[in-house]
């Protein structure tokens, strides 16, 4: 038993010794690996940096000049000429022009439809015969008057002056002349009614609606169609009252008011626009919006190439037609404002202040703004020509904080972090 116990104890110590040697080998290998890594690892680059305190900004240099503001408002397209076509005589429609359809274009005095003229032809014939009969009666009576004059010479001195007119048949002549005049008027009226069986366009027009067909029985007062003139359209624009002083209104019929550029971003191509001019101010406010109304005139609204717009079409051959009743952007060029600085509205801060960069520091300036349009503010005082206005939005705004121009520090010359110590490298 003692030999067996001693043998087991010897093996136990041998196992412990082997385990210790293995652990020592592992630790030695790990220490050697760490030493090799430390000796072969490159030395990190050492940077000592300080952040600048000045804010990086963009600026724009302002200058004084004379500028025309642009008033951007909405307008409604309306016809300058509109008429409900009605007949002036009764009858049956026997003929309709191929262009007399909704959307059709017709020229001045083009025949649109024809009413059966048969009854009116008969009426003209009757009136002509009545006129001829009256004229014949007049000639007979004039012959009788000639004989009466000869008889009066034979009886000279025996007839009183009061009876001379009767002897000379003057009342009879006057009566027959009146009959001739009445017959002539009746014939003219019959001839006029015959002409009115042909219904013609009152001006160059587009047909919007038609409510008659061949075979329809019509009479005076019936609505046949609705026509609008195609030479000129109106755009009725609503403008704030305070903006009226900046719009030029013509003083005479031949003069033009403020120039207007029309745009329709919903349906027209991106660069498409039309040109018009302010014509009138409507002397009544819109009761719902309390806005003033301005009348704008647009020639050749359907871009048909009329004589008045040849120059315009040569410059812009892709003119877009105006659609009646549509809403359209109207950009009205206002009166020139002299000796002001024009600045984008987003660069004007709260309470009409402007951020100015001077001597690399921020100045907060109060300004006097003459007028604002949709995109710009026109500054009368508070800025001087050549000064630099900060266009960058700053997180911290305080009078006198340091500023740096982004334009002068581009191309990697200046960074937010500057290296103040030399680089240390090792292999």
pLDDT at site 201: 95
Q: Is the pLDDT confidence value at 91 over 90?
A: yes
**Burial class of residue 15 (count of CB atoms within 10 Å of its CB; 0-12, 13-18, 19+):** exposed
Q: Which of 155-159, 168-172, 374-378 has the highest mean pLDDT?
A: 374-378
Listing DSSP states for 374-409 in one string gives SSEEEEEES--TT-EEE-S--SS--TT-BEEESGGG
The contacts of residue 126 (CB under 8 Å, 6+ apart) are: 190
pLDDT at site 3: 53
> Tell me: the pLDDT tens digits for 210-264?
999 999 999 999 999 999 999 999 999 999 998 898 999 998 777 889 999 999 9
Q: Does 68 or 286 have the greater pLDDT score?
A: 68
85-113+202-228: what fold?
OB fold (Dihydrolipoamide Acetyltransferase, E2P) (2.40.50)
With cut-offs at 50, 70 and 90, classify the pLDDT of residue 389.
very high
Mean pLDDT of 46-62: 68
Q: Does 51 or 17 have the greater pLDDT score?
A: 17
Q: Does 174 or 330 have the greater pLDDT score?
A: 330
Dihedral (C-alpha) 167, 171, 177, 179: value to the nearest 10 degrees? -130
The contacts of residue 275 (CB under 8 Å, 6+ apart) are: 259, 260, 261, 262, 298, 312
Domain range summary for the chain, segments of one domain joined by +: 57-62+340-419, 71-80+231-333, 85-113+202-228, 117-196
- Helices in 75-200 by DSSP H: which ranges? 118-154, 161-167, 170-195
With cut-offs at 50, 70 and 90, classify the pLDDT of residue 11.
low
**Burial class of residue 208 (count of CB atoms within 10 Å of its CB; 0-12, 13-18, 19+):** middle
pLDDT at site 164: 60
Mean pLDDT of 142-166: 63
In this structure, what are the phi and psi dihedrals at residue 232, rounded to the nearest 5 degrees? -145, 140
pLDDT at site 154: 60
pLDDT at site 408: 47
> Tell me: the pLDDT tens digits for 293-340?
999 999 999 998 744 444 444 445 578 999 999 999 999 999 999 999
User: Mean pLDDT of all residues in the chain?
Assistant: 82
Tokens 């042909």 correspond to what residue? Answer: 198
Lowest mean pLDDT among 5-14, 92-101, 390-399: 5-14
71-80+231-333: what fold?
Elongation Factor Tu (Ef-tu); domain 3 (2.40.30)
pLDDT at site 314: 47
pLDDT at site 9: 61
pLDDT at site 160: 54
**pTM strictly above 0.75:** no
Lowest mean pLDDT among 53-67, 160-174, 316-330: 160-174
3-state per-residue secondary structure call for 324-358: CCCEEEEEEECCCEEEEEEEEHHHCCHHHEEEEEE
Tokens 């302002």 correspond to what residue? Answer: 62
Lowest mean pLDDT among 66-70, 131-135, 354-358, 364-368: 131-135
pLDDT at site 13: 67
> Tell me: the pLDDT tens digits for 260-278?
999 998 889 888 999 999 9
pLDDT at site 167: 57
pLDDT at site 309: 45
pLDDT at site 35: 73
Q: Do domains 57-62+340-419 and 71-80+231-333 have the same CATH topology?
A: no
Residue 17 corresponds to which tokens in the numbers above? 């010794």
Q: Is the pLDDT confidence value at 411 over 50?
A: no
| Domain spanning 57-62+340-419, CATH class | mainly beta
Q: Does 383 or 168 have the greater pLDDT score?
A: 383
**Burial class of residue 355 (count of CB atoms within 10 Å of its CB; 0-12, 13-18, 19+):** buried
With cut-offs at 50, 70 and 90, classify the pLDDT of residue 284.
confident
pLDDT at site 290: 86
Lowest mean pLDDT among 23-32, 195-204, 372-381, 411-420: 411-420
pLDDT at site 417: 32
Closest alpha carbon to 278 in 300, 255, 301, 309 = 255
């Amino acid at each position: 038993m003692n030999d067996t116990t001693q043998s087991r104890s010897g093996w136990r110590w041998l196992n412990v010794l082997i385990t210790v040697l293995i652990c020592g080998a592992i630790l030695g290998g790990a220490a050697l690996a760490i030493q090799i890594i430390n000796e072969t690892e490159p030395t990190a680059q050492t940077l000592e940096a300080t952040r600048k305190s000045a804010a990086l900004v963009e600026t724009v240099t302002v200058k004084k000049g004379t500028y025309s503001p642009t008033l951007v408002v909405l307008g409604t397209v309306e016809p300058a000429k509109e008429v409900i076509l009605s007949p002036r005589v009764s009858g049956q429609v026997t003929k309709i022009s191929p262009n007399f359809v909704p959307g059709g274009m017709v020229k001045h005095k083009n025949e649109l439809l024809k009413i059966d003229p048969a009854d009116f032809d008969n009426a003209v014939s009757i009136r002509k015969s009545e006129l001829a009969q009256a004229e014949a009666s007049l000639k007979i009576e004039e012959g009788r008057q000639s004989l009466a004059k000869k008889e009066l010479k034979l009886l000279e001195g025996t007839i009183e002056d009061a009876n001379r007119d009767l002897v000379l048949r003057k009342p009879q002549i006057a009566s027959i002349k009146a009959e001739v005049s009445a017959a002539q008027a009746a014939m003219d009226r019959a001839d006029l009614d015959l002409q009115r069986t042909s219904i013609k366009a009152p001006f160059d027009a587009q047909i919007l609606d038609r409510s008659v067909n061949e075979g329809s029985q019509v009479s005076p007062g019936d609505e046949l169609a609705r026509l609008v003139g195609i030479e000129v359209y109106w755009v009725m624009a609503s403008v704030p009252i305070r903006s009226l002083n900046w719009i030029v209104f013509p003083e005479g019929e031949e003069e033009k008011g403020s120039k207007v550029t029309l745009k329709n971003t919903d349906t027209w191509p991106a660069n498409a626009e039309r040109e018009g001019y302010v014509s009138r101010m409507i002397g009544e406010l819109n009761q719902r919006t309390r806005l003033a109304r301005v009348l704008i005139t647009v020639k050749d609204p359907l871009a048909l190439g009329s004589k008045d717009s040849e120059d315009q079409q040569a410059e812009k051959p892709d003119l877009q037609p105006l659609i009646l009743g549509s809403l359209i952007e109207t950009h009205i060029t206002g009166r020139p404002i002299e000796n002001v600085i024009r600045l984008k509205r987003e660069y004007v801060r709260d309470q009409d202040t402007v951020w100015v960069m001077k001597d690399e520091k921020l100045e907060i300036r109060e300004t006097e703004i003459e007028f604002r349009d949709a995109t710009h503010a026109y500054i009368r005082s508070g800025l001087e020509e050549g000064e630099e206005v900060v266009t960058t939005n700053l997180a911290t705004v305080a009078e006198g904080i340091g500023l740096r121009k982004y334009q002068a520090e581009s191309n990697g010359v200046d960074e937010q972090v500057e290296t103040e110590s030399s680089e240390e490298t090792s292999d």
